[in-house]
Structure 1
């Protein structure tokens, strides 16, 4: 299941003593209600200067170095406005161990939402939003009813709310079967629609390059990211990412697929690849950083994953290709592969994820000030700052008010610049406009979704391969998403310790145990291992879980009417 398990939750641990700098207006944003020193009163009265403060955010899904936000351009401008800095800490080691330690010690800079809610560690934000959150109400107001827990309280702010009009993504930030461009080029840019065609393409390339020490296919299994190995059967059947289940479009019945014929077919293919020496056995022991390092090595030909999850590796490859066009061969290209050429549904339809977000724990020394920071961040000028940057430096505005980037600006915004400026750290894991949002003036919230920027950002190599497939964007390679009012099913909350939550835990333990055995088994042994797996899976209350999910999905469908 694709849960960005602790994507990013907030906890305050430090309040530092230092005189507050009263930040003036900047190109990124103006000081307004709650902005200067984070100190306007609830009624918008006279401002009061506050001391500077540092709070801590723990990101359980991050793949970045620890940093203070005021060490970045964006973070410093926001500190000038509010007097607040955040120390960003990323996960090292096992996520569940980290969470357990926090709960046991009752000391939180952070943890996973389900577990932390169950421990009573998140505070209710309702009154704080009412007192200090005019922009929070503007951005999240339409979603408040969906954001409330069963007790009627709001414990965290999600990340996927759409502001303005829904804006489709020309890139592939969701699921795909990826392959190095050189593989397609050597094969004459074939149309690859089925799973067998995809793996035959890779097998043929390896056979023609026996002395290059190539890896045909890798799979990500580390920690909560194990879904990158368990999710493919769902997509290969032509379904979008609903997590643990596929959902019938007519009856709204939810069915698990972890023990389905589709999963068997997927794992059997990996077992065959392994027998041919085309599958990387280390997939079951590598951590996330090792996985990304392999993707940037130039030796891995293909893998399945989500664009947002391999973005760091893809950016490194693209940066190298900008400096040396010959290295474009190693950039990965997304393919909408299904089992037998069925209509694909890799692209997410519009949806609202209500069980992941950013919240404040009971350890926070000054929750009101944190909410004021969030509210200030949600001003449109600051959303432009965190997404587009500074006018004249990282974007321009034409005579029609359309935002764009020059070729020089696009070239300089590489991975190193994204870290220094702060784009990388303020990308997604904050209260913000959802990626597919539009600004009040009609510009795209996300630069990559602005047609002018997308086309300008394409290299000649990008244009060449897109032209070979008769499209102008990567999304055009994929089928348009069908409307699914419940989407995504993986966002349905499950109370900690409940039967559905325990089912998912047991199911995950079972797949973690048996999937490596199935993939690494010889083709002759596969059936017996599968039979053993099915015997164990049969002990789970799958029918009860499917009924729970079906009932919840039908509720969402009714709410959407």
Structure 2
């Protein structure tokens, strides 16, 4: 009885197994067919009737925005790719370390200065072979400057592409110090090239007009409460001393010698001047505590006579002033320095900067597709699209030349939401870009920002002031790009510093110290300035700042060797 039951049981089990195998085989065949269809679709890049492929992208710069504006839709139409973009919340600088700790990477990563950490962690791939095999657009774009993409002398691999233009023309400057157009008009259009003349101008206007529209006039306002301390406090000090834009460093472009810039006597001279402004009541008392929104609101009110800032940081205020009819309250850039012996570097050509860029993660299952997308972004078709928008919608072709539609041109100058809503200009940075000095295959500018366009787009108040000075463009106030020459070392601000290195640790300590001490010193009594400054220098020396100088000098020399500029 037992034996018969066992045989029956075995028979049932056998039949069940056969049934399962048949079902599995049918499912497998079905899956294989679907997979093959998908692979064929991807290989031919024919997305008709298919959902686009979504690539995840972390960008260390920007703001939350969906990839669905008209230009983004056109990019998807042409590439079959849709981006799901994530940004660090509140400027969180721990995003990359957290990413490394979790091992959870998006397909594409723009890490800015943290790219070195990703390379060390093995979180991103080398792009050399992909560039050689299928990077025709990237090779054409970078040309002889492709070596500037390489990581280091010890590891000359390419991990990133993009961020900065390759061929740049300098038809405008963000300005280091900027002054209201109405101040220039009211004072009879004076020449302002030194800090002393700058102070005289805002003082005279302030004394004549202590209030503007019923609110207290602010001679100079800064934004030193967050990371913009570097932009409006630290950087202008170097610019006034004739230094190039190398972040916290001063570089001898011939020898490569690099020094933590706050050690220089010129820095003491600049901040002593700023301390004097504060003591005279000419510096906004909220310069080191106000939020960005408060700062922009003040500028938008028209009562801030001068700033030490970059155009990209005040765009919302500029647009608000123009749209409200307060064009005379917008700003003119000035080539202001400590004195005649210093030369403003506002139009300096740094060459293609290299260093930072977009990388492809080591864990991405779509590495080839991600690379093909980046290579397409370097194509002429893509460059025209992201810079000009869509033909017939954002621009027309007239007599064979692209001409921006009047409404779009107007919005570009007055509406800060224009790039986000249309996508025009939004996908230039930090993607691969030819640069504003590049021409397409027809010899036309690749961007709508030719010098003539810039001049035509000046508001009426700017044009009137420029005419009074006998100029067409603000850059005529600055030493020319040709006279300043091309940087041999690029810019130290874009160098990747190894995570956990002595250089990284010492610089971080030094940056924290100088931001705190300089703020205190500027706001302190002039009688205490020298002692406070000397005390800060002693603290820097105690943390072995000379060791950091040596390490950064070597890094600068390595870059010059890698680029063949020394």
Q: Is the 8 A contact 1:94 1:223 kept in 2?
A: no
Matched, 1:497 2:496: no
Match for residue 250 of structure 2? 246
Matches of residues 124-143 of structure 1 in structure 2 within 5 Å? 124-143=126-145
Q: Which of the residues 259, 270, 286 maps onto 1:255?
A: 259
What displacement does 1:170 show?
1.9
SS at match of 1:170: coil
What displacement does 1:193 show?
0.5
Match for residue 339 of structure 2? 340
SS at match of 1:96: coil
Deviations 1:120-175 (A, max 9, x none): 3222223333444321232235333332224333211132242xxx45232223x4
Distance 1:200 1:39 in 2: 67
Gaps of 5+ in 2: 1-33, 35-39
Distance 1:294 1:376 in 2: 42
Matches of residues 379-394 of structure 1 in structure 2 within 5 Å? 379-394=379-394
Structure 1 residues 511, 38: closer, same or farther in 2, change over 3 A? farther
Distance 1:309 1:151 in 2: 35
Structure 1 residues 133, 378: closer, same or farther in 2, change over 3 A? same
What displacement does 1:381 show?
1.5
Matched, 1:172 2:173: yes
What displacement does 1:52 show?
1.8
Match for residue 220 of structure 1? 223
Match for residue 95 of structure 1? 92
Match for residue 299 of structure 2? 295
Match for residue 31 of structure 2? none
Deviations 1:271-329 (A, max 9, x none): 222222322333323344443343323232211122333334334434x16xx3xx102
Match for residue 122 of structure 2? 120
Deviations 1:492-527 (A, max 9, x none): 332222232223212111112212211111222222
Structure 1-normalised TM-score? 0.83
Matched, 1:560 2:562: no
Structure 1 residues 58, 214: closer, same or farther in 2, change over 3 A? farther
Q: Is the 8 A contact 2:180 2:329 kept in 1?
A: yes
Q: How many pairs does the alignment contain?
A: 510
What displacement does 1:424 show?
4.7
Distance 2:253 2:55 in 1: 45
Matches of residues 432-471 of structure 1 in structure 2 within 5 Å? 432-448=433-449, 450-471=450-471
Instruction: Please identify, of 435-444 and 461-470, the stretch whose mean Cα deviation from structure 2 is larger.
Output: 435-444
Match for residue 426 of structure 2? 425
Structure 2-normalised TM-score? 0.82
Structure 1 residues 189, 77: closer, same or farther in 2, change over 3 A? same
What displacement does 1:251 show?
4.1
Distance 2:523 2:494 in 1: 32
Match for residue 52 of structure 2? 52
Q: Is the 8 A contact 2:397 2:403 kept in 1?
A: yes
RMSD, aligned α-carbons: 2.9
Structure 1 residues 495, 141: closer, same or farther in 2, change over 3 A? farther
Deviations 1:381-425 (A, max 9, x none): 2200110123343334443x4433354442243333322110253
Match for residue 67 of structure 1? 65
What displacement does 1:373 show?
1.7
Matches of residues 138-537 of structure 1 in structure 2 within 5 Å? 138-149=140-151, 150-162=154-166, 166-173=167-174, 175-211=175-211, 212-228=215-231, 229-248=233-252, 250-318=254-322, 320=323, 324=325, 327-341=326-340, 342-399=342-399, 401-405=400-404, 407-413=406-412, 414-448=415-449, 450-481=450-481, 482-483=484-485, 484-537=487-540
Deviations 1:56-91 (A, max 9, x none): 3333232x4x2222x211000111122222133333
Q: Is the 8 A contact 2:170 2:347 kept in 1?
A: no
Q: Which has the larger radius of gyration?
A: 2
Distance 1:410 1:317 in 2: 17
Structure 1 residues 98, 408: closer, same or farther in 2, change over 3 A? closer
Gaps of 5+ in 1: 1-18, 20-35
Distance 2:416 2:41 in 1: 31
Distance 2:140 2:129 in 1: 15
What displacement does 1:233 show?
2.5
Q: Is the 8 A contact 1:37 1:83 kept in 2?
A: no
Distance 2:488 2:157 in 1: 24
What displacement does 1:37 show?
7.4
Deviations 1:168-202 (A, max 9, x none): 232223x4201121121211111100012112212
Distance 1:427 1:158 in 2: 9
Q: Is the 8 A contact 1:57 1:87 kept in 2?
A: yes
What displacement does 1:337 show?
0.2
Structure 1 residues 315, 255: closer, same or farther in 2, change over 3 A? same
Q: Is the 8 A contact 1:296 1:316 kept in 2?
A: yes
Deviations 1:88-139 (A, max 9, x none): 3333324223334333333344543233333332222233334443212322
Distance 1:447 1:239 in 2: 30
Going by fraction, where is helix more abundant, 1 or 2? Answer: 2
Q: Is the 8 A contact 2:353 2:494 kept in 1?
A: yes
Structure 1 residues 296, 58: closer, same or farther in 2, change over 3 A? farther
SS at match of 2:430: coil
